[in-house]
Each structure stands twice: as structure tokens, then as C-alpha cells.
Amino acid sequence: MDSLTQIVLGAAVGEAVLGKKVGNKAPLFGAIAGTIPDLDVLARFVVDTVTATEWHRGFSHSIPFAILCAPIFGWIVWKLLPKKEASWRDWSWLFFWGLFTHPILDAFTTWGTQLFWPFKTRLAFQNIFVIDPLYTLPFLICVLLAMRHHRSSAKRTKLNRLGLLLSSSYLVVTLILKGFSYVAFVDGLEDQGIAYQQISTRPTPFNSILWTANIETENAYMIGSYSFFDTRPIQFTSYPKNHDYLGGLVTNDNVKRLIDITEGWYTISKKDGELYLNDLRFGLMSMDKNETKFAFSYKLDQQDVGVRVIEAPKIPGDAKTLLASLWQRIWGN
């Protein structure tokens, strides 16, 4: 999830663990704990694109990281603050839950997490977008209101618990909505006589009303969208796999690792004589039926020493285009 959401979750968890003992210091350090796992994004400044992508939501989003690092961060805070307020164990417990709940929440997104690192299995339920106001805003309001009350106030505890309850309940609702959308996509494929090998569904940005699906067929991937306000059949657009474009590059280490990252959901395209690997898991840059640009696309720059992977840059206008098309598509086809 986005940084603000993880800060809010960390703050609420910190408050639940230690709020009665240390007051607002608990949500403060809980928010810090909820931020720490995402510092893995700094890897992009010191390693290549493929390695940085592999590391993202890897070790720092795992159970071993929470177990190993919580006592260290807890000891640092215990040394800095008055020891009469809370023990080393108390602070370590706060940091453990802050570090642990972060990847748990991320596991519900499309990217997922390697919660069981060093095992490479990535846990991704794909039922909530990384930014969802309906999850974050009620949660944020409850946490801020709770912090206005004295640490011994019963109302403070109730408000914090309400925030945790609302956010958790919304996650459950999105899982149910994912189930309904999945049935709609499967029915749409069957009604149109489309044979497929596998299907993957996920919500579109910032909402849980409009869903999209990737469908694998023999020689192509199909992408379709479904809103709960739709009144017409789902339209599926086909994108050729073009895996044969890779040729001998399919054995290149960087290319193989990039394919592993996409979990097999990728197409190859050519532009100006250059090859691009498109990660289908995050969809297209807009809901326009003529859209061809993918949210995550990587240029395969062939050099004498091998293949350099370069992530295609995002254009500022892309976000505006996406929001406009989303708003129109959400209300039905």
C-alpha cells in the first residue's frame, strides 16, 4: 500500500500495543515502524533495475525481518527515551507488530510480498489497489481523533479499535467483491465462447467498483474490465504474447529474472527497433479501448556485455489520462 496508509496502520498498531503506557509516542513510533519496510525502494539508487525490482517487497517485507529487526529498533528507542515509560521488550513488541502488519497489508495488493522469505513464493491476493481512499481515509480519521484523547481514556481505545475494525472489514468486503467480479469475467468468457488457460483479476486504481482481468489464451493475453454498474457484456481486448520476439535473449539472465518477476504475465513489443517487455499484472495506462501503453514496461537494451533492463519512464500526463478514463468507466459500459 501507499506510504500514508502504512503510516496510519503502523500508528494504529502502535497505539494498540503501547498507547496506554506512552501516549502519543506509541502511534508516532508505530508510524515509523510501518514505514521502515518500504525503505527497500532506495535500492534503485545502488543496484540495477532488475535487482531493485526483485528486492522490492522482499526481505524487508518478511517475517524474518520483523523478528530480527524489532529487538534492534526497540533497543534504540528504549535507549533514547525515559526507561520508566516502557521496557525494551515493550518497544520491541511495538516494532514487531508495526513491521509485521506492513507486509500483511501489502499481501492484499497486486504486487504482493515475500512474507516467507527466503522462499520465493510471493503472496498476492490482488483484492485492493495500492491506493484506496475508502480504506485509508476512515482509518486516518479514527487514528487522529484517538490521539486527541488522554492515553488512559476509554474513548481513545474505542476510536483506535474502530479504525482497525473499519479497515479490516473493508479488506474483507474487497475480497467478496473480487469473488463476484471473477464470476462475472468467467461467465463473460463462456458466453463469448473464449477458451482460456488461466485468469487473474484485480481492482483498478483507487476503487473497488471497477475490476480488470488478465486472461491467458494459447497465443495471446486478453484484458477485460467489469464494473458493478455495467449493463452490457464485457469486452475483451487481445494482446499477442510475441514471446518469440526474444529469440536467444530468452536465456539471458536479466531477461529470465524479469520474466520470473512478472510470474509469466508478460508480452513483448517492438518500438523503434527496440524490444520491450510489458508486465501485464498492473494493466494499461488508461481504460481507453485503444490504449497500448502498459503501466510497467521495460526496455531490453542489448549491449556487447549483455542486456541492460531499463524501466520505461512515466509521463506526467499519464495519471491525468488514467483518472479521467477511470471516472468515466466506473459508472458502467
Whether 23 and 164 share a structural domain: yes
Final residue before a domain boundary, out of 174, 202, 223 = 174
Final residue before a domain boundary, out of 120, 141, 174 = 174
- If phi > 0 it is left, if psi is from -120 to 50 it is alpha, else beta; for residue 263 that is left
- Tell whether the torsion through CA atoms of 270, 272, 273 and 278 is positive or negative: negative
In a domain, 279, yes or no: yes
Whether 204 and 168 share a structural domain: no
Burial class (CB in 10 A: 0-12, 13-18, 19+), 265: middle
- Would you state the pLDDT for residue 82? 84
The domain in which residue 268 lies consists of 192-333
What mean pLDDT comes out for the span 225-229?
98
Whether 102 and 147 share a structural domain: yes
In a domain, 181, yes or no: no
Whether 253 and 280 share a structural domain: yes
Whether 113 and 167 share a structural domain: yes
Whether 220 and 124 share a structural domain: no
In a domain, 180, yes or no: no
Whether 161 and 196 share a structural domain: no
Main-chain phi, psi angles of 267, to 5 degrees: -125, 160
Q: Which of 70-74, 93-97, 326-330 has the lowest mean pLDDT?
A: 326-330
- Would you state the pLDDT for residue 21? 96
Final residue before a domain boundary, out of 174, 208, 234 = 174
Nearest to 38 by CA among 89, 65, 83, 3: 3
Q: Tell me the pLDDT of the chain averaged across its residues.
A: 95
Quickly tell me which residue has 496508509 as its cell: 5
In a domain, 332, yes or no: yes
- Would you state the pLDDT for residue 319? 80
In a domain, 66, yes or no: yes
In a domain, 21, yes or no: yes
CA distances from 270 to 196, 290, 301 (A): 25, 17, 12
Whether 170 and 265 share a structural domain: no
In a domain, 294, yes or no: yes
- Would you state the pLDDT for residue 213? 97
Whether 116 and 168 share a structural domain: yes
The pLDDT tens digits of the residues spanning 180-200 come to 999 999 999 999 999 999 999
The pLDDT tens digits of the residues spanning 270-314 come to 998 899 999 999 999 888 777 888 999 999 999 878 899 999 988
Whether 55 and 115 share a structural domain: yes
Whether 249 and 315 share a structural domain: yes
Q: How many domains does the chain have?
A: 2
In a domain, 185, yes or no: no
Residue type at position 305: V
Whether 90 and 158 share a structural domain: yes
